[in-house]
Amino acid sequence: MDSFYIVGGNQLNGEVVIGCAKNSILPILAACILVQDDVYLENVPKYSDVIAMTKILSHLGAKIEWKGDDLLLNCKNICLCDVPDELACVVRSSIFTLGPISARLGKAKVAYPGGCDIGIRPIDIHLSGLRHFGCKIIEKNGYIYSDASKLKCADFMLPFASVGATENIMMLASLTDGESRIYNPAKEPEIVDLACFLNACGADISGQGGNVIAINGVKKLHGTKYKAISDRIEAGTFMIATAMCGGEVILKNADINHNQSLICKLRKTTCQIEGDSDNIIVKSHNRPLSFGEVETEIYPGFPTDLQAPICSLASICDGYSIIIENLFESRFKHVGELLKMGCDIRIKNGVAFIRGKEKIFGASVSATDLRGGASLVLAGLVADGYTTVDNIKYIDRGYYNFEDKLSSLGANIKRIKCEKKVDNC
């Protein structure tokens, strides 16, 4: 498997363009199953999770064509309703196809999803939501079977504001006759983006981003041309990298409104941050002070996807920091790797206690999941000496051209391709 070779100590200066949001594009790809016309998606980064989702759509019978960075899809001739294990197990977002296939074809057979190993990640809210709309759901032999021949509009209260479950239910309801409501939905910008995409295809959805999403089901959805929002987690990762390395970085195609919880923490470290809905400017000229405490929450709270990257920042801040992970029960796997670099972190009951060090040291470390892998790269950028990060296939799931973007800002990082023949890759 490929790895990154990083020599620490360089500042980051210049401009970088943030890509479109992975966690928008993945549900939007699933939503294309509902549409019987051409859908043209602009600026789609080739995240490996996106490639995996296009393979699922192709399996179902969709026509997929890359046009440079744009993606042309047509799901008119979708005829299969099953997503086999070998395709579903690659990504968490495969479960997002359950609602759309059920609504479009009247039945579905989808294997359990995969995704980063950051917790148990059940799908009970997805299933109870679809059942509420009349889907007869049976779980058997690792598959979810859905009979959606008798769908009915409904009001559904999520017991927890699950992002994926909100998306699955919203997609099913958009083609379910009558008026439905989703109470306690997730409010992430990616939820709003999916609703905007569906409305661009002729759906009738309102209230997205608020406490109640209202959906008037329509008979059919038409094609559209669409560009997903900017990836706030990639933008946040680059903001944290700049705070750690020092320098002045302009993030193009980044919306400052989507990262307010992170920005208020970074400003506490003496980082200067300003911007608007298109660009963010980050300036850092001193060793960052500790931001104090971070607790991951549903949006607009501090995003769990930036918990690992901010652990790396805390590891070199001047002072003590506390990081509480509330969303996923196994999302501190990167800490074991950071300890190899001389970081001073203790974990107790889902809380990381971190004493910032003036110096950490390069080491050979391994990515354990997508955002944990990114946190190791950030630590390598400031460590004394060189760091190798293995298993970067995890990083490729959600960062596209990561090393090229960092290099363009002055980082000393390169990808080491693993020759197929060597066994120990």
The residues near 246 (Cβ < 8 Å, ≥ 6 apart) are: 11, 12, 284, 285, 286
Site for ligand EPZ in 149-168 (CB under 6 A): 160, 162-165
Q: Hey, which bits of 285-379 come out as E strands?
A: 293-295, 320-324, 344-348, 351-355, 364-366
Among residues 44 and 317, whose Cβ is nearest to ligand EPZ?
44
23 binds ligand EPZ (CB under 6 A): yes
Among residues 23 and 387, whose Cβ is nearest to ligand EPZ?
23
Closest contact distance (angstroms) between CB of 286 and ligand EPZ is 30
Binding mask 191-220 for ligand EPZ (x = CB under 6 A): ------------------------------
Q: Is 47 exposed, middle or buried (0-12, 13-18, 19+ CB in 10 A)?
A: buried
- The answer to whether the Cα torsion of 25, 26, 29, 30 is positive or negative is negative
Q: Is 20 a catalytic residue?
A: no
Closest contact distance (angstroms) between CB of 328 and ligand EPZ is 5
Closest contact distance (angstroms) between CB of 219 and ligand EPZ is 28
Strand order of the β-sheet with 178-183 is 155-157, 178-183, 212-217, 204-206
The residues near 128 (Cβ < 8 Å, ≥ 6 apart) are: none
387 binds ligand EPZ (CB under 6 A): no
Which residues lie across from 351 on neighbouring strands?
Answer: 324, 348
Among residues 236 and 356, whose Cβ is nearest to ligand EPZ?
236
**Residue 366 to residues 151, 306, 339, 375: CA-CA distances in angstroms?**
46, 18, 12, 11
Contacts with ligand EPZ by CB under 6 A: the residue count is 26
Residue with the CB atom nearest ligand EPZ in the bound state: 164
Interface region with ligand EPZ, contact rule CB under 6 A, candidates 121-129, 199-207, 238-246, 267-275: 121-129
Q: Is 285 exposed, middle or buried (0-12, 13-18, 19+ CB in 10 A)?
A: exposed
Whole-angstrom distance, CA of residue 49 vs CA of residue 409: 26
| Residue among 317, 354, 370, 409 that touches ligand EPZ (CB under 6 A) | 370
Let me know: does 250 contact 281? Beta carbons within 8 Å.
Answer: yes
| Residue among 3, 48, 74, 93 that touches ligand EPZ (CB under 6 A) | 93
Binding mask 389-418 for ligand EPZ (x = CB under 6 A): ---------x--------------------
Catalytic residue among 20, 75, 116, 135: 116
| Residue among 371, 392, 400, 403 that touches ligand EPZ (CB under 6 A) | 371
Tell me whether the omega of the peptide bond preceding residue 300 falls within 30 degrees of 0, making it cis: yes
- Structure tokens, 328: 């996923």
Residues making contact with ligand EPZ (CB under 6 A): 22-23, 26, 92-93, 116, 119-126, 160, 162-165, 304-305, 327-328, 370-371, 398
**Positions marked catalytic:** 116
